[in-house]
Amino acid sequence: MLNPGPEPWTLAGAALVDSTGEEVELTRWQKAPIPANGAGAVVVGIKGERAQLGCPCTLKLWEATGPRTVTLGNVTFPESKAKGP
């Protein structure tokens, strides 16, 4: 992720919102704040079984100390293959 701002960006929360407005909180991990005018990585995931969301979804990431939010629309997931016996 790129941070074009003058302050570091630290991930505070993440959620998926489906087409009906249902929101699922995601687990998140960030090794270090993304430096000002720099780049870094964030990792998000769903705990346990994947929720039955009506996708496409919107991914929202928000920072710890300010108003900057990252919003990615039209997020979809591949069909999961059924597990055999």
pLDDT digits (tens, 9 = 90+) for 45-85: 887 566 567 788 999 999 988 899 999 999 887 776 656 55
Predicted confidence band at 44 (pLDDT cuts at 50, 70, 90)? very high
Cα atoms found within 13 Å of the Cα of residue 79, Cβ hemisphere only: 2
Mean pLDDT, residues 28-42: 97
β-bridge partners, 11: 63
d(CA 34, CA 46): 22
Tokens encoding 19: 């087409």
Share of the chain above pLDDT 90, in %: 60
d(CA 57, CA 24): 10
